[in-house]
Structure 1
Amino acid sequence: MSKGKGKVVKKKKSASDRKQYYYKLVLSDTCAVCKTPCARGLRYLARMKQPGAVGKGVPCVLTRTYG
């Protein structure tokens, strides 16, 4: 009997080994002066213009970093 070629099995990286993205939270004043506004930022800005609106910021795609 001849030996067949075995398949090379790559191990999957566990969730703790993968790089994770981190986004900075920005407030509506930052979104208002942004040079490249995104849909999420514009939606947040419109919500914050309503009277009595309370916001804690929105994750900004432009501030993405690896952790």
Structure 2
Amino acid sequence: MATKSKKKKAAPKITPSEKYQYTMKMVTSATCFSCKYQCERGLRYLDKMSKPGAIGKGVPCHLTKGKAFK
């Protein structure tokens, strides 16, 4: 009898910024700019997006993770 080997696919590597992608909302630079509680991640994203030709997908906002600040 021939046995079939079951190979498991390796899970894709998740970067620290993508770790909470499903629990935090992705916000654009306009949202970060108008935020009252500007965080370090948002300020870095604003700096990146202020350069000519920059393309961004948004940044996860830690203020949208929990019930606070909603």
Other-structure match for 1:64: 65
Q: If the length of structure 2 is used for normalisation, what is the TM-score? A: 0.62
Larger Rg over CA atoms: 1
Alignment partners' CA distance in 2, 1:46 and 1:31: 11
Identity %: 57
Aligned residues: 47
Q: Which has the larger strand fraction?
A: 1
> For 1:1-67, what aligned pairs fall within 5 Å after superposition?
22-65=23-66
Distance in 2 between the 1:36 and 1:23 partners?
Answer: 16
Consecutive unaligned residues of structure 2, counting only runs of 5 or more, are 1-19
Task: Please give the TM-score of this superposition, normalised by the length of structure 1.
Answer: 0.65
Higher relative contact order (CA 8 A, sep 6+): 1
